Amino acid sequence: MDEENQQRMDETSPLDLTVPLPGFVRPEIVPDNRQSAQKIIVDAHKDNDVYFPLEEGPNVQVKDARTIQGDSLSVENACDLFRDKGFCLFPQKTQVKNWNEDYIKGIVFGSDISKAYAPELEAIIRNHLLSDYHVVKVECPAAVLRRGPQSKNNFYGSGVHQDYGLTLEDFKNNKDAYDPSGQASTETQTKFDQEAVCGIMIINFWRPIDGYTKENPLVTKPLAVCDSASVKTADTLHTGLNAEAFGGLKGKLTDQMALKHSPDQRWFYYPNMIDDEVLVFKQLEIWKDDPLDKREEMPGRGCFHTAFEDPNTPEGAPPRKSTECRVVVYVGKKKTDEEKGAEPWIPPAPLWPKTSNEWGNLGLDFASLGMIFAAVFGKCPEIPDYLHFAFSFCIVGILVGMIKFFYSLRREGNDERHPCAKGLVDMLGLTQLGLGIWGMVLVFPNLSYLADPSPETCELGPMLAMFIPAVIIALVIIGVTCMVIYACLLSKKKKETVIVHET
């Protein structure tokens, strides 16, 4: 730590507090840093054999973090403090109006969180907090965790804890506690194993959301955070919560950390926060060169934190309303000096308004309605299924086009930002492929009707309504087949080249 930071650390503020923080582990408890997440101690704050009751807990100095961050809030001093201590207060106005709590609704239909907040936070991460690194991927949920009245969680996280453990396995266990398929943890491992990825972080963006201003700031139940560098791994305890109680799977436990108190730990809070300020802190930080198989040697870089009672809170102050958004970041290598001077990352354009190309593509998708008109106003007694084919192929094609249009899936990166929409389009695409094969079966054996159409056999309109999509699908199948054959031949050639070099 440089002299200026140390001087700020030593400064006092009239808002520095000495208070009992809830949820410390009793000192006689032997920390259990076991490898196996199946042996987690079930977290129960009423179990006085493990946790201090609040009235018996140690009194802790909680310093005013505004003093150490700087005289005035800025992006620069926020980033400096984040690099130094793993937390900071960041100035940020948001366009979010509706703080969506429903993850399923947000994923399927989108929300202010996915449309506005996610790109806002990604810009903060890429251009400021982690501007020294290549950021491979940022995953922001489509909903947030709200606290306080009118929310799904009308309680506060009152108990010293760290939500994601120490290791990647801990993080994956948390995923498995909410995902019966295990796919989420498998994908996490796959992304972490990518060559471009050097580490993973989970960054929490915590903010008040009830119209708090400088004249009317947040004064109830502020959040205290601990400088992760002041926490020894030996003072941590591997613990967890009953996942079912928080919307997870029955019989599963989350993977978290509890903490024994030490006078070496340095605790901070930001008094009088307003809506245009967001408290940013790391909840997990893991690098590939960490001793991942030796839990006792893993540094704990996630910030322990807890809500607490501020003795300066006026009597009758309303309950705190706040929200937190936990963002997963896959971090690459450090940037060179030249790379640091590159243009800042620009958030993707909003879904509306649409571009002229997108309107044009939508018009082309609806042009397939001509198939239905051609089929309906013609006769084809020799192929009785022609109407079913025309309607089915046309409807599926229009649905695909509408989804692509609404979610702007033709724009670069939007397929990753809207995975459910992309997945639905892929499923409908396979359906359209199957319908196209059906059309090939219907039309190709009857191509002679194109040369000699008649109401008794098959008129030209219905034949064209089947022939055009059947040919398109046939060309797609031929193209895909050629690509697969080429890829196989190329792979074989590479293997032969390797064998020649080895011999």
pLDDT at 10: 61
Select the more confidently predicted residue: 292 or 136. Answer: 136
Alpha-helical segments (H) within 11-117: 65-69, 75-85, 103-109, 112
Which pLDDT tens digit goes with each residue over 270-307? 999 999 999 999 999 999 999 887 877 888 899 999 99
* pLDDT at residue 243, rounded to an integer: 84
Amino acid 463: pLDDT: 95
Is there a contact between 238 and 40 (Cβ–Cβ < 8 Å)?
yes
Structure confidence at residue 345 (pLDDT): 93
Question: How far is Cα 114 from Cα 111, in angstroms, rounded to an integer?
Answer: 5
Write out the residue range of the structural domain in which residue 35 sits: 3-340
Among 359, 111, 390, 60, which residue's Cα sits nearest to residue 227? 60
Average pLDDT score over the chain: 89
Does a structural domain hold residue 290?
Answer: yes
Edge-to-edge strands of the sheet including 17-20? 17-20, 59-64, 267-269, 223-226, 305-307
Asked if 282 and 303 touch (Cβ cutoff 8 Å), the reply is yes
Q: Both 401 and 325 in a single domain?
A: no
Question: Does some domain include residue 383?
Answer: yes
Give residue-wise pLDDT tens across range 356-415.
999 999 999 999 899 999 999 999 999 999 999 999 999 999 999 999 999 999 998 888
Do 181 and 73 lie in one domain? The reply is yes
Provide the 8-state DSSP code for 115: I
pLDDT (0 to 100) of residue 351 = 83
Indicate whether 326 and 388 sit together in one domain.
no
- Residue 1, pLDDT > 50, answer no
Q: Per the domain annotation, does 445 fall within a domain?
A: yes
**Residue 351 lies inside a defined structural domain of this protein:** no
Residue 493's pLDDT band (cuts 50, 70, 90): confident
Asked if 327 and 143 touch (Cβ cutoff 8 Å), the reply is no
Same domain, 288 and 400: no
Residue 53 has pLDDT above 80, yes or no: no
Domain-ending residue, one of 281, 309, 340 = 340
Which pLDDT score, from 0 to 100, does residue 81 have?
96
Q: Do 328 and 384 reside in the same domain of the chain?
A: no
pLDDT for the residue 300: 87
3-class DSSP state for residue 503? coil
Confirm whether 112 is domain-assigned: yes
Identify the pLDDT of residue 503.
Answer: 55
194/327 same-domain check: yes
Whether 399 and 296 share a structural domain: no
Model confidence, pTM: 0.79
Give residue 49's pLDDT: 67
* The residue type at 216: N
- Together in a domain, 169 and 210: yes
Q: Say if 348 falls within a structural domain.
A: no
Question: Structural domain tally of the chain?
Answer: 2
- Is pLDDT of 41 > 50? no
Angle between helical axes of 356-366 and 386-406 (0-180°, round to 10): 170
Using an 8 Å Cβ cutoff, are 147 and 155 in contact?
yes
Task: Tell me what pLDDT residue 8 has.
Answer: 58
Distance (Å) of CA 471 to CA 96, 142, 385, 436, 484 = 47, 40, 18, 8, 20
335 with 362, same domain: the answer is: no
Residues 121 and 242 in one domain: yes
**pLDDT at 470 > cutoff 90:** yes
Which of 306, 340, 374 is the last residue in one of the domains? 340
58 and 186 part of one domain: yes
Interval 88-121: pLDDT, tens = 999 999 999 999 999 888 887 889 999 899 999 9
Task: State the pLDDT at residue 46.
Answer: 42
Percent of the chain clearing pLDDT 90 (strictly above): 67
pLDDT in tens, 164-186: 988 899 899 899 999 999 999 99
375 vs 153: CA distance, rounded Å:
56
Please list the helix, strand and coil fractions of the chain in percent, rounded to the nearest 5, in that order: 40, 20, 40
Domain end position, chosen among 340, 375, 396:
340
346 falls within a domain = no
Domain assignment of residue 410, yes or no? yes
**317 and 384 assigned to the same domain:** no
